[in-house]
Amino acid sequence: MRHICTRACAAALAAALALSLAACGGSGVNTEVATQYVQGILDRNYLGQYDADFLELIDCSEKEAEEDYLDGLEVEANYFAGVFGIDFMEGDVLDEAVDLYRQVYARSRFTVDPAAKIDDATYGVKVTVEPIDVFHLVADELTSDTPASSLVQAFDAAYSDVDVNAMTDEEYQAYDAAWARMIIGLTLEKLPESGYLEAESKVVQVVRDEEDLWSIPQSDYDDLDGRIIDYNF
């Protein structure tokens, strides 16, 4: 019995909050800095990469940047749980999902164009993303009448005649963990053959607030984040 959620939720959760340019208040920001900031945020959140210049720009240590990156992976792992109907994203299953997203995000493709100044408090940065299509492949396998994956076959064989509603809490948690691990394993199987959907572009703003700090508006970041991986299968 497969309990795949047949469509993703309307909007993805942000992988991490945008950072303020604490080290560059007021006149310290220019087109070069705005470009570097957006590039650095994307590199950190999706690739787990952060160079010394970026860390200095946002007044952040490498340890703090790594913690933010890992927090973002966990946020996406919990979103993944919602998409695929996993009720208990915790413990070893959570660790496995986080490691999965480390590998999925490593395939992220995005380019950042040079920033353009819009006014004294706003820069615009065009970002082009090629959405990762791996979950289209996963969904195709799960909805196939004759799945090729041994993982799906084994799960179906174990649970095809089981009444989930009659399970005890302990039995259901074991079933949920088996389902989660099957989806994680299937995604890892499909990842090498995954590709990308048509490129999408978004102009992200870098704006100054009342305290002379600069950041990406959360709505802009959320919109961009939702394009990295396509869940609309």
Band the pLDDT of 24: cuts 50, 70, 90.
low
Residue 108 inside a domain? The answer is yes
Band (150; pLDDT cuts 50, 70, 90):
very high
C-alpha pair distances (Å), 151 with each of 33, 136, 204: 47, 17, 40
Which of 53-62, 137-146, 168-177 has the weakest average pLDDT? 53-62
Q: Using the predicted structure, report yes or no on whether residue 29 has a pLDDT greater than 90.
A: no
pTM as predicted: 0.88
Give the Cβ contact number of residue 52 at 10 Å.
Answer: 8
In a domain, residue 2? The reply is: no
Q: Dihedral angle at the C-alpha atoms of 108, 105, 132, 5, nearest 10 degrees? A: -160
Is 94 a member of any domain? yes
Count the domains in the chain: 1
Asked whether residue 4 is assigned to any structural domain, the reply reads no
At which residue do the structure tokens 């802009």 appear? 220
Residue 15 lies in a domain: no
Query: What's the angle, vertex CA 39, arms to CA 37 and CA 42, rounded to 5?
Result: 110
CA distance 100 to 77: 8
Name the residue range of residue 150's domain.
22-228
Of all residues in the chain, the percent with pLDDT exceeding 70 is: 88
Let me know if residue 85 belongs to a domain. yes
Q: Is residue 86 in a domain?
A: yes
Report if residue 233 sits inside a domain.
no
